[in-house]
Amino acid sequence: MAKVLPLTGGPTLAEAATAFLSRRDLDADALRSYRQTLTRPRTRVR
């Protein structure tokens, strides 16, 4: 039988996306691409 793991607190999707987009190792093109990709779920899931 599968075990059910309890939910634990953690960052929201918006917080995780913001933290990811704040990384300094992303070049301008990658940052633009990731920002476009992550904007849709951040604005639709709240």
Domain boundaries, the chain: 13-44
pLDDT tens for 11-46 read: 888 888 899 999 999 999 999 999 999 887 766 665
Q: Report the C-alpha gap between 14 and 16 in whole angstroms.
A: 6
What confidence score (pLDDT) does residue 23 get?
94
Query: For residue 6, is pLDDT > 90?
Result: no
Which pTM value belongs to this model? 0.63
For residue 45, the tally of other CB atoms under 10 A from its CB is: 9
Q: Which residue has the higher pLDDT, 4 or 5?
A: 4
Mean per-residue pLDDT, 6-15 = 84
| Predicted local confidence at residue 38, as pLDDT | 86
